[in-house]
Amino acid sequence: MAVPDPSPTSRRTVLRAAGSAGIAALALTSGCAGGASGAGAGERTGAVPATARTGTGTAPVPVPVPACVLAPKTGDGPYYVPHARLRSDIVEDRGGVPLRLDLTVVRAARGCRPLAGIAVDVWHADALGTYSADGAAFLRGTQLTDATGTVSFRTIVPGWYAHVAPHVHVKVHPDAHTEAATQVFLPEELLRQVFRRDPYSRRRAPAHPNTRDDRFAAKGALMTLGPVAYGAGYRAAFTVGVE
């Protein structure tokens, strides 16, 4: 849910609220489809037609397909700062191409049911590849999911640094004692277009901002957003599940 940002709020307060959900996180998932119907946990039957060889020829038959695709866990990285402010707009004074990021948290083992009241942290580098530190808090924030399991952050497209593909870190807290982190990437062609604009263009952009990163080459297909034009920037959605 969108949360007003009148003052800094300790993440401990958020986690106490999230703890009432009482759900243990076991794995991160992305790309959840519809709920299960007559299938095992995390599966649905016949949602995608499949072709099977039978004695009389080829005929479509229903087969179980995963309702959620497991996404790799990536850890926090070196720039995670706990106790982020409770807010939806994390831009502050950072220049860059606007990005609205809609994140939905679901329970994979229960047919991708949305989880309400789950704390979600987001943080990433600015257009020049810098993370906030030493008391600064730009491009960091926490929200609690609404009744549909969703939070929306207003931020910017992240810049690059070192040999790392531009990314946004996401950490979920299903209860006060459990947490799991992943990250999301943006398509390389979109990044090339964005990096021609100010303030990204103040530095010489890499020709291949994603594919030069071995981690993206190994796992990026599961964690790349599909942004669409939205105002002066982009909007993208991603589903994060816990089992």
Question: Is residue 208 in a domain?
Answer: yes
Q: Is 149 exposed, middle or buried (0-12, 13-18, 19+ CB in 10 A)?
A: buried
Domain count, the chain: 1
Give the pairing type, strands 233-242 and 98-107: parallel
CATH number of the structural domain spanning residue 83:
2.60.130.10
Question: Which stretch of 57-61, 90-94, 194-198, 204-208 has the lowest confidence by average pLDDT?
Answer: 57-61
Q: What share of the chain is helix, strand, coil (3-state, %, to 5)?
A: 15, 35, 50
Q: CA-to-CA distance for 160 and 163, rounded, in angstroms? A: 8
Rounded CA separation 13/9 (Å): 7
Residues 143, 114 contacting (CB under 8 angstroms): no
Residue 202: give the domain boundaries. Answer: 11-32+68-242
**58 occurs within a structural domain:** no
pLDDT at residue 1 greater than cutoff 50? no
In a domain, 219, yes or no: yes
pTM for the full predicted model = 0.74
In a domain, 111, yes or no: yes
Residue 94 in any domain: the answer is: yes
Model confidence pLDDT, tens digit, residues 107-146: 877 778 899 999 999 999 999 999 999 999 999 999 999 9
Rounded Cα distance, 71 and 222, in Å: 6
